[in-house]
A and B are shown apart, each in its own frame.
Chain A
Amino acid sequence: MIGIALYCLVPFYWMVVSSFRRTADIYDKSPFPSPWSLESYEAVFAADMGFGQSLVNSLVVAGVTTAVTLLVGTLAAYALARLEFRAKNVVLALVIAVSMFPGALLIVPLLKLFTAIGWINTYQAMIVPSMSFALPLTIWNLTTFFRQLPYELEQAAMIDGCTAFAAFRRVMVPLAAPGIFTTAILAFIATWNEFIIAVTMINDQARQTATVRIAQFTGAAKFDTPFGTQMAAGVLVTIPLVLLVLFFQRRIVAGLTAGALK
């Protein structure tokens, strides 16, 4: 058990430790930084790195993608969980198939399309393609969740005079809030970590997301990789996710396994 914890945490710990070393002793192997230093963090936020801006970009892209995906996905999931229609299995199969779609195949047509309509270096060039993987994940999770809610609730609402849509909006959505929240976390993390679309559609540093930005940090000399700065940036990019994990671990595990277990 301790072995598992060590396996998971030691490499991450090494990144954190390295980020607190001075540039001069970045190659030290001691388990604690000595002396502690915020040098790397100062370097990350130096104006020419554009790192703060990239964090904002990531937040915008992941936030908007999550919001739009939830809006669209909740409707679809509810329909798939509750309504009976003929193409239902086809739609579900489609959703699964799409979630396995290789991002690399999307980039050529989308790159051409976005070049033609002038979307290169815009947020929407990242948000729209990101929905291709966030949406299946959302639908899959929420369908499982809606199925667990008892039918009697909507029936009661409709007997009380609600239309089917009002029953959905006023009764089911509030009840499904925990599931929607869990799905939101998963979709947010997936979009925050997205790489291939962001690295393809954006070449302007001011619009790059954080994951792409840190991969392209360069040092003063051309072949000098600024590892301390990269580690510090890596820690900063990961912190929001680690906080989400610490606070909502039970929900996240439930959400991750919902799709796998039925």
Chain B
Amino acid sequence: MLSPTMVVLALVVFYPLVAALRESFYESGQRLDADGFVVEGEWFAGLANYAGVAQQRFMNAALNTTLFTVVTVALEVVLGVAMALIMQRAFRGRALLRAGILIPWAVPTAVAGLMWKWIFQADGVANALLGTEILWTADGAWAKLAVIVADTWKTAPFVGLLVLAGLQIIPADVYEAARVDGATPRQTFWRVTLPLVRPALLVAVLFRLMDALRVFDLPYVLVGPRKQSVETLSGLIWDEATRVHYGPASAYGTALFGYIAVIAFVFVKLLGADLLGDVRARRREGSARVA
């Protein structure tokens, strides 16, 4: 029953992964052969494609991606936890609130990008409200902020929903015990709520990290392709690929893949966001039930 899945994954994920790896060591185009004839084709290039990794444009994109990831994920976690705590207390209008909170999540990223581009226009509503004349969507430091604001708007509610689901499975007697022991609300939050909601929060953060590291469409639409201040690694790879620089594009892609894999590995190891551990535990439960 798994074979159709395996076929699909092999075609759309593993084949491209292997092909990209191979491609990253090859160069294509024209060159002169030993007799001075022009030949066209592909040839082994060793690590030549990876040379670009040390260059300014790649480093800039890597820095942009990292900065974007760190800032947005941090903001989203703080806002998301705050939203979840508020939503948990709300009884009236909860359904309405839940529908409202899903809207930023449902808006396509490309549309969200356009929407914020409009809000951040030179004579748009953001400048009017702030009383400033900032060119948000031109290439520059403000553009970074615009992208961060737009992404936080779109995904903080999603983090909030995941955390809320985590909050709702905390039994009420834990809070009661904390109250009986005379814990202040602040102590209750740091010593009771946060440790108990940690598993849900870590999974949410892991999802967000992986998403933020490969971000492409938001800066593409909001500011534009090939803009130095907001070019992400995915943006750089896309640009190289569409200009038929397959070798460097693959090399950068492999580098991004490695980067994401390392971050995910470190995150899982250090913080114990044990995705598979839960699977294993559930499996034990499952087999115990069968037995």
* Residues of A that sit less than 8 Å from B by CB: 1, 3-5, 7-9, 11-12, 14-15, 18, 27, 29, 71-73, 75-76, 78-80, 83-84, 88-89, 91-94, 96, 98, 100-113, 128-129, 131-132, 135, 139, 147, 151, 189, 192-193, 195-196, 199-200, 211-212, 214-215, 227, 230-231, 234, 237-238, 241-242, 244-246, 249-250, 252-253, 256-257, 259-262
Inter-subunit contact A211/B17 (CB<8 Å)? no
B273 to chain A, nearest CB (A): 10
A5 to chain B, nearest CB (A): 5
Inter-subunit contact B276/A93 (CB<8 Å)? yes
Residue in B11, B96, B276 whose beta carbon sits within 8 Å of that of A128 in the complex: B11
The 8 closest A-B pairs by CB, nearest first: A109-B19, A257-B165, A195-B217, A105-B253, A102-B214, A104-B234, A76-B5, A109-B16
Inter-subunit contact B111/A214 (CB<8 Å)? yes
Known contacts A102-B256, A107-B249; 16 additional CB pairs below 8 A are: A8-B153, A9-B100, A27-B123, A72-B5, A83-B1, A92-B279, A101-B17, A108-B19, A108-B241, A113-B15, A211-B108, A211-B109, A214-B110, A241-B108, A245-B106, A262-B278
Question: Given the complex, which residues of B lie within 8 Å of A261, measured CB to CB?
Answer: 165-166, 169, 200, 203
- CB-CB under 8 A for A98 and B169, given A242-B103, A262-B282: no
Q: Which of B99, B119, B200 has the most CB of A within 10 A?
A: B99
Question: Given the complex, which residues of A lie within 8 Å of B13, measured CB to CB?
Answer: 98, 101, 106, 132
* Residues of B that sit less than 8 Å from A by CB: 1-2, 4-5, 8-9, 11-13, 15-17, 19-20, 23, 83, 86-87, 90, 93, 95-104, 106-111, 113-116, 118-119, 121, 123-125, 128, 153, 157-158, 160-162, 165-166, 169, 200, 203-204, 207, 210, 213-214, 216-217, 220-221, 233-234, 237-238, 241-242, 246, 249-250, 253-254, 256-257, 260, 264, 275-276, 278-280, 282-283, 286-287, 289-290
Question: Given the complex, which residues of A lie within 8 Å of B121, measured CB to CB?
Answer: 227
Residue in B11, B23, B86, B110 whose beta carbon sits within 8 Å of that of A193 in the complex: B110
Closest B residue, CB atoms, query A234: B111
